[in-house]
Amino acid sequence: MSDKYTKRKLAGSSFTTIVSLSLVLFMLGLLGIIIINTRKLADNVKENIGFQIILNDNAKEVDVEHLTKTLDASPFVKSTEFITKEEAAERLQKDLGEDFISFLGYNPLLSSINVHLKAEYANNDSLNWIEKGVMDSKLVKEVVIQKSLVNTINENARNISLGVLAISILLMIIALALINNTIRLSIYSKRFIIKTMQLVGATQGFIRRPFVLKGIKHGVYGSIIAIGLLIGFLYVLEKQIPQLAELEDPNVLASLFGLVILLGIIISWISTSLAVRKYLRLKSDDLHY
Q: Is residue 123 part of a domain?
A: yes
Q: What is the pTM of this model?
A: 0.63
Query: Where does the pLDDT of residue 189 fall: very low under 50, low under 70, confident under 90, or very high at 90 and above?
Result: low
Which of 98-107, 123-132, 232-241 has the lowest average pLDDT? 98-107
What percent of the chain lies above the pLDDT cut of 70?
86
Tell me the CA end-to-end span of the chain in Å, nearest whole number.
26
**Rounded mean pLDDT, 58-71:** 85
The three-point CA angle 267-273-276 to 5° equals 135
CATH number at residue 70: 3.30.70.3040
* Domain around 94: 50-145
Task: Examine the pLDDT at 143 and tell me if it is beyond 80.
Answer: yes
Over the chain, what is the mean pLDDT?
A: 79
| Maximal CA-CA distance, the chain | 105
**Lowest mean pLDDT, pick from 49-63, 73-87, 154-168, 261-275:** 154-168
**pLDDT given at position 227:** 92
Residues 210 and 250 in one domain: yes
- Is there a single domain that holds both residue 14 and residue 37? yes
Q: Is 150 part of any domain?
A: no
